[in-house]
Amino acid sequence: MNKQKTTATIINDEAEMSSTNTVIDTNKHAAMLPRPVRRSLQNSLLIWLDTDLDEFKDQYKKAIEHLRDILVSVITFTDVDECMNFLSKLENEKVFMIVSSVLGQHIIVEIQKYPQLISIYALCDNQLIHEEWIKAIPKVKGVYTQIEPICDALRIDHEVHDRAMIPISFNRIDPLFMYTQLLKEALLDIEDDDTKTIKEFVEYCRLEGDASEQTLEKIEREYRNHSPIWWYTGPYFIYSMLNCGLRLMDVDIIMKMSFFIRHLHNHIAELHHQQQDSVQRNFQVFRGQGLSIEDFDKMKKTEGGLMSFNNFLSTSRNRDVSLNSFARPAIMNSNSVGILFVMNIDTGICAQSSIPFAKLSEISYYKNQEEEILFSTHTIFRIDRIERIEDENTDRLWEVHLTIIGNQDDDFNKLTAHLREEFVWATGWARFAHILIQTGESAKAEHLYKVLLENATSHEQRSSYNLQLGTAYQNMGEYSKALSSYEQSLEINKIFLPPNHPELAASYNNIGGVYFRMGEFLKALSFYEQALDIQKIALHENHPYLASCYSNIGNVYSSTGEYSKALSSYERSLEIRAIALPPNHPDLAVSYNNIGNVYSHMGQYSQALSSYERSLEIRRIGLPPNHPDLAGLYNNIGMVYFDMGEYSKALASYERSLEIQKIALPENHPLSAISYENISRLYDKVGKLSEALSSYERTLDIQSKFLPPNHPQLASYYNKIGMLCTKMGDYVKALSSYERSLEITKIALPLNHHNLAASYNNIGAVYVYMGEYSKALSLYEQSLEIQKIALPENHPLLANSYDNVGRVYDEVGELSKALYSYERSLEIRKIALPPNHPNLATSYHKIGIVYAKIGDYMKALLSHERSLEIRRTALPPNDPDLAVSYNNVGVVYTNMGDFPKALLYYEKALDIDQKYLAPNHIDLASDYNNIGMVYDKMGDYSKALVSYELSLEIKKIALSSNHLDLSKSYSDIGILYEKMGEYSKALSFLERAYEILKQSLPPTHPNVVKSQRDVENLKKKL
């Protein structure tokens, strides 16, 4: 049976051109009702648990107002179970908690176990009653009788915690840095109406969070009365909300706070200019904070390397304040290390890298308290040394010496500069939205482009926004919406632009991309070629847009099986990009990926792996760590390892791909179906057929939601479901799946596409199992003729087809023709595959079987031993295919009458399969059957019976009730009982074998005729 190769991920270039609880509400006119918790706008929230809370009392309302001045989200519970259930489900936020001590020691002990919980503040009427037992619970910060001192303690603890949440990356500049740097530039470029923007920010906080209404009114009323630094350093939620947004890259928060990011940066830059004459060339600042043990271990491993602060960076000239107010308190959290950063600053480097900083002594909310110096975003340091601070009370207090170096990575700067040039056509929010698409945030880009379209004032804007909106839709798999947006852009451009304008080419290119993803390849090729024709006229010969068009045309040819044309187009694309782009540009990764796809399809696996790894190397530099394109590359690398027989490496790559997709994509995104499919192939390989079938059906379910009903990819999934059903003996379902696949393929693909050949191969395999060999042979020969046209003469898929033809001749006894087909298959594989590829072992295995049937046991033994030799080299020591080889050698020794040697090899096979396979795997049944056969021939009928019965019990579990292999077991046991003279038992088993054969095969099938004869002969003996 032909095992179909999973389609590789092609990276396209279309877009390049261009539970219920109470939350406190202080609205005096609204009744207090339970409502769902709204999103947190900070890194942490406050929970207040007290069974006696009365939300209508003024004292309670005032307490909430005080608490919300510190933490925006204040959530109250009167039911312990509801509270604990809510707490257990939190993932991104950390929790501070006020608990009534009336609830008792037991409740607090239970609650403090949650890792999300940072601090507990016990509120009671009498401190003395509770102080002793509370000392034993580290997370309890104290016992309080009033809410005001809790607020004081909470403010300090929250500030210490928030400092620990600043986004930091180690070892090298994180790929996210490049995009956040560009995002910052886009935000700084936006001009807005401050009054309107501030009003929208306040309304957003009012709707999405639980900020104090008094604070919100103050911001709206007094924002311009104070400086951005005053607001940033004040006792409000501004700093914490901004920190949360930048840490999580929460685009909603960043969008609403963009005006503040801009104002704060500009204020720092203005002060920096004013203060520069009074600042020493070299000076030292300090920063105290907590760092998780995990991150601290990363830092220690990269001593001498780089780290970056991807946020506004608050430091102090006062070492003692940094150490005692921030680093030392951080160790109260058992999962944190207290860090005192000692930072050496060179103002020349700051100027060179455009990193302004400012002294805040007279400007911050708390004047002169910390001798604070505030740096603008994206400050990079070298880690000079890490030393433990001697302290008799702890070993978790460390001093880290840093030197500012700026963004001095040459490759990084070249790539960032080039990307900045590519975005020159867009400004402000349009530029911001386009960067969102590049960072995989298409849903957020969609929202922003819709807003931009509503406010568009020119045909240029409407065309551009529709074009980019189409790209966002396409990335989300919403192809009909993408097509609509692209067509709207095209219609606008046709009216206002000349016929050979590059903008028209962009529209044609992107429309082609949608048709490509929908499987309408002829339409896709037509639009791509229209785009290319325009670009050849309008652009110079090495313009990057031409490379994109060549790449997309290559994608079409690859998908239609025209690999030589695909390779030519991809190589032309790469040639242009190598001239026009920096060495680590993402578009070069696209070219290497797609060239790898073609080599993989052509069976040239070493070249494919080299291309994929080069693509991955570039992508790791240029993309965030969980970008979907990285998942696609890991998937492709896994496919090559699978084809090369390196299954453990393949599995690791597939799982990494799926891990990224679960983070970056919606639950049922089409790309995740590819990873599920490939992992299913591995389940199939180890014999977990039901799990494999379930995963393939999940893949089909996902793809059916997004693809048109006749998309060729759906045909591929029906094929694979058919294969598994064939292995499981469900031939009716297998045939139905294969025929649905063939129906789709005939509609979607050219008549000579190799996928059509695959469908004929697979239907032929079912007919082989059903004993209809003439039908099988006709289908196999149709498949072979198509592949001779569609594929290179030594493509591995041709070898598979020769194997299939050979199998039919083998089954009908035309052994010379079978041997010819198998040897032709071997010749192709010797040319196309590495010398120890597992598929070569398969060829030797089949040839050995034919020689054994001919009676040339020495040649059979030589072939099987060569197969075993290859598998010992290429496969893990307990791979099931090794067991197959041991079994084959055992069969030859059985035929030669050397039963002790045969038994030795059969037992080796059983030993491997017992270690590697599930206890009811069908291969174990084969092992027991072979051992039983040897004991049978040796006349040891009792041992033979035990082995035959073990084989039968496994088959009853693993196979359908009418599977042909069950018939074989019943027949073997029946014949054995006949030899033992137990004719009534023998007849029972032989009749069961005959009943299965009658239901599964036509009445003239040789096996049916023989089984009927065996039953009739035995009845004569009774």
Looking up residue 468, the CATH number of its domain turns out to be: 1.25.40.10
Verify that 97 and 207 share a domain, yes or no: no
Verify that 449 and 520 share a domain, yes or no: no
As given in the structure block, the two tokens for residue 14 are 């279309």
Verify that 317 and 360 share a domain, yes or no: yes
**CA dist 841 to 608, 648, 875, 915, Å?**
22, 19, 11, 22
CA 200 from centroid of its chain's CA atoms? 36
Residue 701 is assigned to a structural domain of this protein: no
Residue 289 is assigned to a structural domain of this protein: yes
Verify that 474 and 364 share a domain, yes or no: no
SS3 letters for 846-877? Answer: HHHHHHHHHCCHHHHHHHHHHHHHHHHHHCCC
Residue 183 is assigned to a structural domain of this protein: yes
Verify that 181 and 97 share a domain, yes or no: no
268: containing domain? 173-408
CB burial of residue 769 (10 Å; 0-12, 13-18, 19+): buried
Under DSSP, is residue 324 helix (H, G, I), strand (E, B) or coil?
helix
Distance (Å, rounded) from C-alpha 301 to C-alpha 315? 24
Identify the domain boundary among 588, 622, 656.
622
Distance (Å, rounded) from C-alpha 15 to C-alpha 783? 37
Verify that 228 and 187 share a domain, yes or no: yes
Residue 976 is assigned to a structural domain of this protein: yes
Verify that 214 and 334 share a domain, yes or no: yes
Low-confidence ranges of the chain (pLDDT < 70): 1-41, 92, 101-102, 104-105, 129, 166-181, 183-184, 192-193, 209-210, 249, 368-370, 406-427, 439-440, 622, 624, 645, 664, 666, 686
Verify that 199 and 263 share a domain, yes or no: yes
Identify the domain boundary among 162, 185, 211.
162
Distance (Å, rounded) from C-alpha 615 to C-alpha 548? 16
CA 167 from centroid of its chain's CA atoms? 23
Residue 370 is assigned to a structural domain of this protein: yes
Pick the closest to residue 290 from 94, 471, 456 (CA basis): 94
CATH of the domain at 117: 3.40.50.2300
Distance (Å, rounded) from C-alpha 676 to C-alpha 691? 11
DSSP class of 770:
T
CATH of the domain at 310: 3.90.176.10
Q: In what order do the strands lie in the sheet with 372-375?
A: 168-171, 306-309, 379-388, 397-404, 336-346, 282-292, 313-316, 372-375, 357-359
Identify the domain boundary among 345, 375, 408.
408
Verify that 79 and 182 share a domain, yes or no: no
Verify that 488 and 504 share a domain, yes or no: no
Residue 1020 is assigned to a structural domain of this protein: yes
Verify that 468 and 527 share a domain, yes or no: no
For residue 986, what pLDDT is reported?
Answer: 92
Verify that 103 and 237 share a domain, yes or no: no
**CA dist 522 to 556, 559, 562, 597, 745, Å?**
8, 11, 13, 20, 14
> Structurally, how many domains does the chain consist of?
5
Residue 185 is assigned to a structural domain of this protein: yes
Residue 168 is assigned to a structural domain of this protein: no
Pick the closest to residue 825 from 780, 857, 856 (CA basis): 780
